[in-house]
Each structure stands twice: as structure tokens, then as C-alpha cells.
Structure 1
Amino acid sequence: MTDTSEHSRPEALPTPPPQCPASKLGPGPGGRTRLYGPEAESDLYGLYERLRAEHGPVAPVLLHDDLPAWLVLGYRENLDVARTPSRFSRDSRLWTEMREGRVPPDHPLCPIVTWQPICVFTDGEQHERWRGAVNDAIARFDRRGIRRHVTQCANQLVDRFCASGKADLVSQFAEPLPMMAMTELLGMPEEFSPELVSAGRDMIKGSATAVQSNEFVQETLRKLVARKHARPGADFTSWLLEHPSGLSDDEVQQHLRLVLIAAFETTANLMANTLKMVLTDVRFRASLAGGHMTLPDAVEQVLWDEPPFMNILGRWATQDTELAGRQIKAGDALVMGLAAANVDTAVRPDLDAPIHGNRAHLAFSGGAHECPGQDVGRAIAGTGIDALLLRLPDIKLAIEESELDYRSTLMCRHLTSLPVAFTPHQPSHSEPTAEEGQDDSPHSAVPRTTPSAPSGQVTALRRPWWTSFRNWFRRS
């Protein structure tokens, strides 16, 4: 699928300048709480509960540079916002702060709030046109081809560190694997993925270098679109270019950016959080080993408890309105608190109780703008985790769980590292078996040209408790 023609490589992302100092502690102007800085970075869930106790399901907060916004904490209130575009639009041009010039072009939030010709910034007919093109292109993916490619990529990554007997599963596995998969699906040269990992994660942090990182991603995709005009293939980029809706090059480029960054961040975080749960949660292991929890159940539990996107800045009031007793003014910004909604006791009275087969979480948002690629993300994460655990059956956490460190930003909370140890062995260069290539999912995509079936066989390993991971997709 990947285009192997000659290509000009965008200039590498320059070395980032030093980060701006964190904001000071304490309330900001107007008594609003800052949704960034030390408190949010050190204890995001604690901040949610403090805000919920003080303000209820909708809390007044401050974004970067003390821009006012509303954080929606309640589950039902988040669904209300997601399902009523007539009151809460995705069009960021409505934002009062931006219209009045308080969000300059170099503001760290600009890469995620500046209006662009993509489906996430529109509602109504225009949204249906753009979203329809994205949905149709995603539907053409061959799930067997995705799993086969992800298994091969996962084995390549494991081969890089398996002889050492130790690894960091965040930087050496959970982060590179989704971008390796996405560059293939987009028809992009694979060697771009390391730099895109760095730029993609930086641009959604709201960091001092977010705008710079965004430009690197944009230039990479701009050249990809031009190349696919000349040499189309069986890939997402080519399918968008040939779609009957007649997307312009800029529209295609911006949707590629949307899919690439959203898929990378959500899948990397989902993989890291699931692996952490596998390695640290005794109840999880016992339940899975005993057959009481299937792997899809386990992943949905992670999506309830630690969603890949904690918050989404992306709704603006179209009119003066009320939400949970709060007076929202036309042009106000609303932050959808997906993680806070998932732990709302109004829908989860017992937060310690396991959730089986329940996909009612808001990890992928809701309403017309619910993530269209969530099943592809599950396929990448599940296949990658399966391949890793088959290769390293005695893997264990190399440090105490209390030593694990998280980094929180406006949108995400992710592990900075996940150090593990295992019995060293030489790279096997193994390929997926015929069984791994099977696809009996009810959501199978339209068949496309895919790589030839591999001839190698995976070396048999003793059956650890997590061999039930192999039934992931046939049960989902």
C-alpha cells in the first residue's frame, strides 16, 4: 500500500525551544480554575472531582493564557452538548475570544481550535459531505490487511529490543506502532513515522512548539497529496482524492491531518494504558484468565477509566443558553470532559465495579461527531498487544507501580514510560500465522488489494494467562 516512489522529505522538525514555565498555582481571574499547569498535570482526576464538588456538572475554567471556558463534567450534560449542534456548534469561528483577537496565531491552542475545512469544525450539510467522504474511505480498509501489517510492525519493534531483556513499552512500542500503521494506511513512506510521532504528540499538548510541529505535519501531508495525484494507490489518501464528493486538495490534506493525529494519539494512549493494566492489575489478570472478562471487555474498561482523550475543546455556544443551571453566553467555549463524564456517579454509582460489554462510555465522544475510526484504533491496539505478549510471555513491570509517571495536558493524560523486563532472546523475524490473518468480524471492510499471505509461522510459546487475547476480534 505504501508509495515507494521517489519523494522529497520535508525538513525535519527543528529542535524545540525550552518550554514555557508552568502556570502559577491557585485560581485565575474571576475565580475560575486553570485547566492547565501544576494542579492539572499532577492530579487531573482530583481536579475534576474538586470542580464537580464546587460547581456541579458544569464548571467555569481557564484555558491557556487565562482564556475563559466551561468544562462539562457530567455524563448527561456531555451528551446534551454533543447531540444538540443547534445550541453547541463545532464551528470555532463563533468563539468570542478568537473573534475579539485574544487568540493570536501563535497561541498554543491554535493548532486544535483554528477553523479548518474539515468535518470536526462543521455541522449540517457540510459536515455530512466531509464526514461521508471520511466514512466511505475508512470503510474500504481491509481489516485482515490491517492486522497482518500491524503484526509485522509489532514484531519488527519487538525484534529491536528483545535481546536486551528490557524495554520501555511507551517509547519503544505503544507510540511508534500506531504511527507505523497509519503511515501505511495513508500511503505514506514509513520512514516519516518517527518524526511524525514527535510532532503529532507535541502539537496537541498546547506547548510552546505546537504551532511549529503543526507546520511540519502540514508540510508532510501537503507533499503526500501531491504525490498521490501522480501515483494513486489502495490507500486512504487516494480514496479521499477520488471520492465523488470532490474534495479539494486542501480539504483532503486537512482530513489526513485529522485522521493521522487523532488515530495516533488515541491508539498510543489506549495501548499504553491497556498494557499498564495487564502488568499491574491483579483483578484484571485473574478475571481475564478465569474467562470472566473477554479482552474487548477489558479494553472497554480501560476506555471507561482512562480514555485516550481526557478533554475535547470543541464546542461553542450558538446563542445564550443554559446548561445544568449555568448561563452560557453566545460565543462561549465549552470543553467536553470525557474522562470526568466516564466517572460520573450518576451513571457509575460503583466506580470499582467492572464493566462488561458496555460501550456507553464517551471515550470517543458522541453524537454526529463521534470518532469514525474507533474500530480501526481497536484493531491496531489489539493486534499489537497480542503480538507483543505472544513474543514476550514472561514480561513484567520493571519498577513499582507507584513509580509510574503521567503527563497531563488539556486533551490528554499519558504514561511517560512503562519499563518492563523479560527473558532476553534473539530476534525471530516471525510473521503472523494463517489463523491471525482470519477475519470473521461482522464489521469486515470491503476487500481491497492486500499483501500476500505470509508463509512463516509463529514459534509456539507456552500458554500464559493472556493467550485469551488472541480471541479479541472474533468476540467483538
Structure 2
Amino acid sequence: MNNQPLNGTDAPRGCPVAHGDGGDLMRLYGPEAAIDPHGIYARLRKEHGTVAPVLLDGDIPAWLVLGYRENRRVLDNPRQFSRDSRIWRDWNDGRIEATSPLIPMLGWRPDCVSQDGEPHRRLRGAVTDGLQTVAGRGIRRHVTHFANKQIDAFAEAGSADLVSDYAEYLPMLVLTRLFGLPAAEGRNLAVSCAKLIKGEDAVAHNDRIMEILADLASRKRDEPGADFTTGLLGHHADLDEDEILSHLRLVLITAHTTTSNLLARVLQLILTEASRLAGLVSGQLSVSTVVEEVMWNTPPLAVLPGRFATTDLELGGQHLKEGDLLVLGLTAGNLDPEIRPDAGVSLQGNQSHLAFSGGPHECPGQNIGQAIIETAVDVLLHRLPGLRLAVPADELTSTASTWEARLDALPVEFAAQPT
């Protein structure tokens, strides 16, 4: 394969560039996208409707699905919109370098996310069985243990940043226990996962994650335990070496990045809306209700990679060609004015959001993520009386990558606690 970088001015027939109006396409990466992704979604919707041509890292063309109904159509129809990137025309034509930061997110692997039909069902069954097993083995106890250890590190100070001191690493510490990894690996893995999602030296960080997981799988063959890794190794679906490592990678990266981002957003909502905090402290409001609200308004993955058109077809008034890449705007879809003309109306009890994807590839570990977040919030509120935001709410900032918008910091104050 001739992996030459794509030249946006010499786009192949049928790619999103060829369907544009002749002007520059909007980029989902770079300084503007990092500051105002919602502004970009709004302008794209105004100009193109519910499906818009965009450029990803390296000016790689794609279709961004902005409409709720269009997202549902793509998610629910794998025969028309496959997750198998081996049909991605730009890759097959050699227009994408193997070192592109898109490859760790979009490249084909022998995992359930990269396949459809019977291969997908076989592999997903192994993952689902493994997650159900570890979810029943005291996950809230693990969260409580690591949450208290995180809080112990700053409780005496009377102040903290709940992003860097709590939400950024807590989910990974829990995952190390569920995977059978040493807790000491947690911080390095969390950093590598974050860098991979941001596209910062993504290939190198992906390689680092795979090295750690390969060592883990080798060790667990000799020293099996009551953990997710051992469960995959011994599952009746008989996964081979590459399949095992690919699924360890998939679950680790997805579970950590989404749960850490969602936990930070839940804490942000609680601390910027006095009624939410008072309701939780008094027991009149449940954490799950707050989580549900966040999943509608700021889902942990703003854009989901990716689907590939299996044939020429029309979506949202746009003419797609076989092999075109689509990325799914989960945030844009959840805020679609066609289904939410008044975004301020409560959606309590409505779980039809896009935050967990949908269709055959819907997230199988959502209950674990919910348990981590609920327990983490409960422990935090119990340990830190007088918890309050240390800066005005409008001073909180976020930085977006192509795939997510992550809270930069959440500075808080509280009554100092001896440990």
C-alpha cells in the first residue's frame, strides 16, 4: 500500500471533499475545534443540515452525522454502515499514513468493534460475559477503596482539583483491579489513554498500552485469577492471542476515557448547580439522575468513530459513496433541535440518548461505568463536608479533541479533613 498523505485539493471522486461547495471544509481538529466544538456543530448544521462534510486530523475527509434520527439510522444498520474499516476507501487507496493519529481510533483490529455479523457476536459475547463476571465481584468496594486513597492525598489541604486529583485517574485505578494489573500501572495507562484520544503521539502511546497488556496476558496464563483478563483467556469462544490483546485494549481505553470524562462532568454539574448538590446531600436526588442529565447534554464521547458506507446511498440529503467514512456526532445528535426544541426541558427518566452509542455495538460496560461514578460521587460527598467550587462557574474551561470535550480543571474548597 502506498501510504501517502491525503491532499485535500486532489480528493478522489465520491469523498466528502468532492461533495462540498468548493470552499474549505470545516476541521474537527485544531485550535478552533478545541475551543468551540458546539459552535462548529451549529455552523455545520446551518450550512449542510443533518449530515456535513468535514476534515479530520491530517485533513482526512469524513461525513459528520449531526441529526439524532440520522445517527440512529447509522447505528442500527450495520449492513449499510459497517464498523469494518477495511472497506475505508481513503485507507485502501493509500491516502492515509500508517502513523496517522486516526489509526488508533479507526484502524481495523481483531476486536468486536471492528466487525459485524457473526464475528462480532462471537467476540462481543466473550467481552460481555467477562464484564458481567467482574461487575458481580465487588466493583463498588474497589471504587470505595481507591476513591478514599485518592481523597486521602488532598483531604488535609482543604482544596483540590477534582479533575487532576480525582476524576482523571480513579476509573483507571479501578480497572487495574478488574484486569488484574498492578495499581502502580494505573497512572501511566491513564496518561497514555488520554494522549491516544487527543491524538498526541497516539501511535507511540497505543504501542505502550499494548506492551503492558501483552505482559499482563502472559502473566495471567501462568497465574490465573478472578479478573477480566483471565476470563477472556479461558472463554469458550476460544479467542486467539491477537483477539485477547485487542479486547483488553478496547475495554481499557474505552472504559477509562469515557468514565473519567463523565465523572468530571457529573461533578461539574453538581458543583455549579446548587439544587443538585443540595438534593444529593439530602437524599432527595440520586446520582443516577444527574448522570442521565449529563449523558444527554455533554456525553463523554462527543464524536464516535466511525462507520463506513457499504454502498452508494443517501443520508440526510447527502450522497455518500461506498467506502466513505462517517463519524457520529453524539453530542450534536443529543442536542438536535428537531427532537429537543427546548434543550432546557428536563429529560429525567428518558434514556434514549446517544451517549452509549446504539444498535449492535452499544456499549456493553455501561453498568460498570455507572457504578464507578455513583460510588465515586457518594464517597466524595461523604468525605468532604462543605464542598464547593473555588472559582466562578463561568471560569471553568474545556478543551476538545476530535472525539471528546474534556473539562480542564475543577478547583474546589472544603473543610480540611485529617487523614
TM-score by length of 1: 0.82
Which residue in the other structure is 1:359 paired with?
351
AA partner of residue 95 (structure 2)? R
Trace 1:416-455 onto structure 2 (pairs within 5 A): 416-427=408-419
Q: Secondary structure at the match of 2:267?
A: helix
Trace 1:14-413 onto structure 2 (pairs within 5 A): 30-143=23-136, 145-207=138-200, 209-285=201-277, 293-413=285-405
Using the alignment, how far apart are the partners of 2:279 and 2:46 within structure 1? 33
Q: Percent identity?
A: 49
AA partner of residue 414 (structure 1)? R
Shift in alpha-carbon separation, 1:413–1:147, aligned structure 2, 3 A: same
Using the alignment, how far apart are the partners of 2:236 and 2:21 within structure 1? 49
Using the alignment, how far apart are the partners of 1:178 and 1:282 within structure 2? 26
Deviates more, 1:297-306 or 1:139-148: 139-148
Using the alignment, how far apart are the partners of 1:290 and 1:184 within structure 2? 32
Asked if the contact 2:68/2:334 (under 8 Å) is kept, the reply is yes
Shift of residue 28 of structure 1? Answer: 11
Using the alignment, how far apart are the partners of 2:172 and 2:281 within structure 1? 31
Asked if the contact 2:89/2:323 (under 8 Å) is kept, the reply is yes
Using the alignment, how far apart are the partners of 1:142 and 1:108 within structure 2? 32
Using the alignment, how far apart are the partners of 1:124 and 1:175 within structure 2? 35
Using the alignment, how far apart are the partners of 1:223 and 1:171 within structure 2? 28
AA partner of residue 304 (structure 2)? I
Shift in alpha-carbon separation, 1:117–1:28, aligned structure 2, 3 A: farther
Q: Deviations over 1:396-440 (max 9, x none)?
A: 11111122121100111011111111111211xxxxxxxxxxxxx
Q: Secondary structure at the match of 1:152?
A: helix
Structure 2 stretches lacking a partner, 5+ long: 1-19
Shift of residue 285 of structure 1? Answer: 3.9
Using the alignment, how far apart are the partners of 1:362 and 1:144 within structure 2? 28
Q: Secondary structure at the match of 1:228?
A: helix
Shift in alpha-carbon separation, 1:256–1:281, aligned structure 2, 3 A: same
Using the alignment, how far apart are the partners of 2:281 and 2:132 within structure 1? 34
Using the alignment, how far apart are the partners of 2:285 and 2:327 within structure 1? 33
Asked if the contact 1:52/1:59 (under 8 Å) is kept, the reply is yes
Q: How many residues align?
A: 400
AA partner of residue 206 (structure 2)? N
Shift in alpha-carbon separation, 1:76–1:132, aligned structure 2, 3 A: same
Q: Deviations over 1:242-297 (max 9, x none)?
A: 00010012111110000001000111011100001110023534665787753322
Q: Secondary structure at the match of 2:53?
A: strand
Asked if the contact 1:297/1:358 (under 8 Å) is kept, the reply is no
Shift of residue 29 of structure 1? Answer: 7.2
Q: Deviations over 1:294-329 (max 9, x none)?
A: 332211000000100000121000110110111000
Asked if the contact 2:108/2:114 (under 8 Å) is kept, the reply is yes
Which residue in the other structure is 2:7 paired with?
none
Asked if the contact 2:50/2:70 (under 8 Å) is kept, the reply is yes
Using the alignment, how far apart are the partners of 1:144 and 1:421 within structure 2? 34
Shift in alpha-carbon separation, 1:174–1:291, aligned structure 2, 3 A: closer
Using the alignment, how far apart are the partners of 1:125 and 1:247 within structure 2? 14
Shift of residue 142 of structure 1? Answer: 4.2
Using the alignment, how far apart are the partners of 1:299 and 1:225 within structure 2? 33
Structure 1 stretches lacking a partner, 5+ long: 1-26, 428-476
Using the alignment, how far apart are the partners of 2:135 and 2:76 within structure 1? 31
Asked if the contact 1:28/1:34 (under 8 Å) is kept, the reply is no
**Over aligned residue pairs, what C-alpha RMSD do you find?**
1.6
Using the alignment, how far apart are the partners of 1:91 and 1:267 within structure 2? 25
AA partner of residue 131 (structure 1)? R
Using the alignment, how far apart are the partners of 1:347 and 1:295 within structure 2? 25
AA partner of residue 94 (structure 2)? G
Q: Deviations over 1:160-208 (max 9, x none)?
A: 000111111011100111000001001111100010011011011122x
Which residue in the other structure is 1:473 paired with?
none
AA partner of residue 309 (structure 1)? L
